[in-house]
Amino acid sequence: MSARKSPQEWTLLFNPNWHQLHVGKCQICGEFCVDTPTPEEAREWCLKHARDTGDDHFELTAFDYCRAVFTDRPSGTNQGKEPRNVS
Ligand SMILES: [Zn+2]
């Protein structure tokens, strides 16, 4: 059995040390908060910005960071079978 023939797939690796980022952005002036680890903090920033400026339209987004890497499939998965429905 040739090692070069073992099937590989891409998978996503999430680093546990990278927390998800939640960002509130003002759609009126473009100002945004950075590095808020919870949606509540991003919403708080929007409310504070509204109180401070009177701006009243916001966009809330969340970001995850990951790497795509090649991984060997676990042995026994799909061995000896041709992929089906590939055309
Ligand atoms: Zn604003």
How remote is the CA of residue 42 from the centroid of ligand 1, in Å? 14
Residue 6 within any structural domain of the chain: no
Residue 10 within any structural domain of the chain: no
Q: What is the pLDDT of residue 44?
A: 96
Ligand 1 is an ion; its neighbours by CB within 5 Å are 26, 28-29, 31, 53, 55
CA atoms of 43 and 58, how far apart (whole Å): 9
Residue 56 within any structural domain of the chain: yes
Residue 64 within any structural domain of the chain: yes
DSSP three-state, residue 71: strand
What H or E segment, with its residue span, contains residue 9? strand 8-14
Percent of residues in the chain assigned helix, strand, coil, to nearest 5: 20, 30, 45
Question: Does position 80 have pLDDT exceeding 50, yes or no?
Answer: no
Question: Does position 85 have pLDDT exceeding 60, yes or no?
Answer: no
- The number of folded domains in the chain is 1
**pLDDT tens, residue by residue, 11-53:** 999 888 878 889 999 999 999 998 788 999 999 999 999 999 9
Question: Does position 75 have pLDDT exceeding 70, yes or no?
Answer: no
Query: Which residues constitute the domain of residue 38?
Result: 22-70
Residue 52 within any structural domain of the chain: yes
